[in-house]
Chains A and B, each alone.
Chain A
Amino acid sequence: MQEKSGPKLAFREELPDACPPPEAKAIALSGVYRFLPSANPKNEHFDSYCLLKGPKPPPTVTLCQWSACSLFVTREKAVAKIKLQKLRSRFSHFAILDVPANAGYSESGQNGHLSLWMLKHFDPVTAILKIEEIGDV
């Protein structure tokens, strides 16, 4: 496992101090799910909202959380969320990918949700195993 601190670790995005949090681990994630807006995955589909919308999150969200990429451990856990209006209107597909242990740091939340802080060298698009249409849920 890599040390989070130290000058050598370059993350994909600029992160605030003490981010990733201490609970985040550099572990391999096998077959995890990411929402996509189309069947053609692009690198930016894995950007955090910090990168996409700017470094001012809603007041309920920390800048560290805002700088993470959300993933789900199973299709079942991911597909349930697509019933929410904003997600349903924006996403049509899943990317299923393997994230190696040296790709970044992840923190397990409740109910199959993962926050991932990727390292700069990791290319999530090349880590995609499969694209699936979400379809009717």
Chain B
Amino acid sequence: MSEKKRRAKYVSTLVYVDEPQLILLESKKTKIIAMAIDLGGHEFPFMAATMTDVDWRKYKRGSVDLRYLFAFARLRRLYKFDLGELNLNTGLLMEPWPADLPVANFLPDSRFFVRDHTEPLPIVQSASALQHFALDGAWGLPDFASFYNKISDIYAFISAIAKFKSAQTSYDEKRSIISAFAHHPFRGGFSYVNLFDHLERLLGSGDSLQVQSIRYASAGYVNVKGNRSVFAEIQEFINIFSNKNEEIGKQYNKLYKYLADGDFLAQDSAALERTSPEILKLIRDEAKTLAHMMSFAEFDLMDTFADRNEVVLAKIIMAFYRRIEQSFMFFAQGRVEFGDLT
């Protein structure tokens, strides 16, 4: 258990039902999750738990539930405080959780996930960072271009979602992002390259991935500059593939077969009209399973982008899958390793 009082600042409300029920705080760079509790002697009592960056990212992705953060997360420290004492400028002082107060009586039930929030997650503009990729083995120029393009596509995809969810993004910019996702995958003669190129253009030079330095040799390296949290997400996706690439690949093939059998791969819009609701539901369910296996937490947002069109939705998820899988193969072949993120 923690021993000292700790000052924390309010970041945002995550669940609001008549009053704040779940909020996010920050103490220096440590994220703190805090849930309203029923405890006498306070006006607005909360139980708080510190989180590692890894656990906070897992929670944001829907990989762990709220109970995990309070009951099981590594290195967590528990506190209590009264939200009524918060000063928006200076924050509030959290007291260590009292040893005589059984934590178990205050824990949230299991299976409360990020999807259950009533308020959007804050988009923290993390400082730009340099991601070092160490290269080894034989590299031709086409290999290098292929690797960089795939990473760049994944980067644009994740960044565009973050930009869409940001409160700082204008309505018009959000419309443009929706349009990029919704219209490319179902357009005649579609090339998926168009979607990712479009997303990269929308991000603009300020938010796009930039090559900082390259040593094109064996062994060599490439340093790319971008957003720290996006780099961290890319690494997590690659790690997930390194653990269950075959399993995810089987799910992709299953979904691909449904689309091929329905003539959807050729972007035949007429095919959708003659497809039964049962088949479309199947496509949606299989696409959801694929997204889940990849720990891709934005399935519902993609569904909105796709305007509830099952085929467009599936194609977006599959396009994202292919970029990660193709990038992952460079790591699996021992030709690339994640280096420092500085």
Which residues of A pack against B, CB within 8 Å? 35, 48-49, 53, 56-61, 65-66, 69-70, 80-90, 109-113, 137
Contacts and interface: CB of A to CB of B under 8 A. Distances in A.
Contacts of A111: 115-118
A93 to B, nearest CB: 15
B21 A83 contact: no
9 contacts: A53-B43, A60-B83, A60-B88, A61-B19, A84-B36, A84-B112, A85-B108, A86-B36, A111-B117
Interface stretch (B10-18, B278-286, B305-313): B10-18
Contacts of B18: 48-49, 69-70
Contacts of A113: 16-17, 118
Contacts of B22: 84
Interface of B: 10, 13, 15-23, 35-38, 43-44, 47, 66, 83-84, 86-88, 106-112, 115-120
Nearest to A48: B18
B167 to A, nearest CB: 12
B106 A85 contact: yes
Contacts, number: 93
Contacts of A109: 16, 118-119
B38 A110 contact: no
Contacts of B119: 109-110
Nearest to A89: B38
B284 to A, nearest CB: 17
Given A109-B118, A110-B118, A85 B36 contact: yes
Q: Which of A61, A86, A88 has the most CB of B within 10 A?
A: A86
Contacts of A90: 38
Task: List 10 tightest A-B contacts by C-beta distance, closest first.
Answer: A83-B109, A80-B116, A113-B118, A83-B112, A89-B38, A86-B36, A58-B83, A70-B18, A70-B17, A59-B86
A85 B110 CA distance: 11
A83 B70 CA distance: 13
Contacts of A69: 18
Contact of A88 (B83, B109, B118): B109
Given A109-B118, A111-B116, A81 B38 contact: no
Given A35-B17, A61-B19, A111-B117, A85 B38 contact: yes
Contacts of A70: 16-18
A121 B117 CA distance: 32
A85 B20 contact: no
A53 B20 CA distance: 14
Nearest to B110: A83
Given A84-B35, A85-B35, A86-B37, A60 B86 contact: yes
Given A84-B22, A87-B21, 17 more contacts: A35-B17, A56-B84, A58-B19, A58-B20, A59-B10, A60-B88, A65-B16, A69-B18, A70-B16, A82-B109, A83-B111, A83-B112, A84-B21, A85-B36, A85-B108, A109-B16, A111-B115
